[in-house]
Structure 1
């Protein structure tokens, strides 16, 4: 059995901040038996075919969200596998519900090193019945080992692997619990080897398929900015967070809402990001005076944004949002 390793320092700092500011954040619940029951090796999860650690199985499909999550420059690959004969419940087009047994994987490569592959599995019939763990790759690439406690600077890179419980600091923020595989994220011409919304409709995978794609409003800068906020901020900052019968898990309690919604795409001014952030988190025409720019331009524990999963400023993301705010009119 592999030893558990200590939590990354930024998580410990965040936990300390939570204790003095419990109205904003709290620690996630400990790893439960469900997550501990996941396979110990990535080779046992069904991602790869015939024992290969490079070729996905025939029933595993790649996907790429059109608005990616910043992960300190890591390169990522993602896959999904639905149980045979099942469909995704899309009665709520913003919050898809996945059949029991669904598995999603996300692989991280940092500085040319394949570091970890995360697994998210639907373990029961209820919306909250998900379990997760990260598999850290062995140095020879022969397999990856479940590491429920996370790992700092994995494989000699600056990449910190999250603990299994901390996965739901982000994934617990939406009723779907799945991030990146959604109606809005798949509404584009995906790469040839990746699923998009049209593929899912054509295959009969959705219980209530939409009539077409969902288009984010605005010009190129506005669309990209709204998508950036959706992917990087919306899993915490939204007003449709699910109820929890356990401790709150990095749950901000404020009026901000950065998630895109399919029924609010008629115009920029209809989007939750515009309605909740204008004149509060961003000042039209004045990026230097905008709290959003101030907080994403630094990495200070307990204050900078995003709070989780990043130690390095996304310079391109900052430049994009600065341009958006600079061109923004009241």
Structure 2
């Protein structure tokens, strides 16, 4: 009886999420090939003035988000009926063949301005309980899919048309001129760059040994947080377990947790480390594409030489700006890390792809963190 009740509860939970997409065809998993349109998958679709999620397409969020030109991201997971992902403490969860992970990039529109005027804001509550996005208030840019096929994860990127009715495959990427408008009316023109296939691999090939594409966000420490699935906030991981999307979940006390970098109740160190973890560690880890630098910025890296404190650069080239160390305690302006984060020059800025603007709030956080570090990098001759 308890087993039947658990199955019924899981189906009911999915049904609640499915309440807004009557008439949408079932999700279509494509085991190979590159479908030309996003609607060929039926994961998310523009219908009746909304971007809707299909039945079984479950939204989720991260404790700390990777910065991409102030764009907002609607993240979802879908798995074939009867399958489940296996929990792992470190690294991405083990998802079954047939899984589709989506990420739709969008901006809130800036008041009554042009369609290309988008809001520079860290907060936007347009998506509620997975019920989709109101297309009258957002500017859709792209939807990226990571599809778990027999031979591994395959990335596909779809760019939305101006009418916001369909997104088409963009293997070579795209560039969209936009203007960020802040709360005071300040304007910043920039080019939003949709990555090509090779650039997708650059970030998601987190292990140079296996050279396999990996997920970045769906990991225990990033997803161990609350999300409102229609009945008030509840922990995402326990919710995914309750609907059969996650197995082998341990006790909550044993699950790692990255801080929300904007949470004032968390320590400055925890917030800064979480920011560097999600924005930098996919490359800056012992097995990543930036391992030649000797700079490791993962959440579990000790605050020693490997974290970059008083470490001389090994492969930065002109990106140093004449600075001698990656991080100089108490001196952000003398730190290469700060110099590269605050730049938009090719060959200098870090991350080197994925942004055309400077994350003002993120750089301010890392500046404060470096100011708080004790010690010095005195060179004794």
* TM-score tier (shorter): 0.7 to 0.9
Counterparts of 1:91 and 1:230, CA distance in 2? 18
Bigger mean CA offset, 309-318 vs 171-180: 171-180
Q: SS at 1:190's partner residue? A: strand
Counterparts of 1:61 and 1:107, CA distance in 2? 13
Counterparts of 1:87 and 1:117, CA distance in 2? 23
Kindly state the Cα deviation for residue 36 of structure 1 after the two structures are TM-superposed: 8.2
Any conservation in 2 of the 1:149–1:163 contact (CA below 8 Å)? yes
Deviations 1:160-195 (Å, cap 9, x if unpaired)?
111123211101115671111110101122344687
Deviations 1:112-144 (Å, cap 9, x if unpaired)?
5211111111111x5xx1111211112111111
Counterparts of 1:279 and 1:326, CA distance in 2? 14
Counterparts of 2:305 and 2:99, CA distance in 1? 34
Alignment RMSD, CA only?
Answer: 2.9
Kindly state the Cα deviation for residue 219 of structure 1 after the two structures are TM-superposed: 4.6
Alignment match, 2:140: 114
**Cα separation, partners in 2 of 1:274 and 1:323, compared to 1, 3 Å:** farther
Any conservation in 2 of the 1:171–1:179 contact (CA below 8 Å)? yes
Q: SS at 2:158's partner residue? A: strand
1:41 and 2:37 correspond: yes
Number of equivalenced pairs: 278
Matches within 5 A, 1:54-65: 54-65=51-62
Which residue, 161, 180, 183 being the options, matches 1:138?
Answer: 161
Deviations 1:75-115 (Å, cap 9, x if unpaired)?
22111111221122334632322211111111112425211
Counterparts of 2:46 and 2:357, CA distance in 1? 38
Gaps of 5+ in 1: 1-33, 242-249, 265-269
Kindly state the Cα deviation for residue 59 of structure 1 after the two structures are TM-superposed: 0.6
Alignment match, 1:21: none
Which residue, 42, 51, 66 being the options, matches 1:69?
Answer: 66
Task: Tell me the TM-score normalised to structure 2 length.
Answer: 0.66
Any conservation in 2 of the 1:88–1:98 contact (CA below 8 Å)? yes
Kindly state the Cα deviation for residue 46 of structure 1 after the two structures are TM-superposed: 2.2
Pair member with larger Rg = 2
Gaps of 5+ in 2: 1-29, 108-117, 119-137, 180-189, 260-264, 312-325, 376-381
Counterparts of 1:76 and 1:316, CA distance in 2? 18
Alignment match, 2:361: 316
Higher normalized strand content (fraction of residues):
2
1:295 and 2:340 correspond: yes
Which residue, 274, 294, 307 being the options, matches 1:276?
Answer: 307
Matches within 5 A, 1:249-288: 251-260=290-299, 264=300, 271=302, 275-280=306-311, 281-288=326-333
Counterparts of 1:55 and 1:239, CA distance in 2? 40
Matches within 5 A, 1:196-215: 196-212=236-252, 213-215=255-257
**Cα separation, partners in 2 of 1:50 and 1:306, compared to 1, 3 Å:** closer
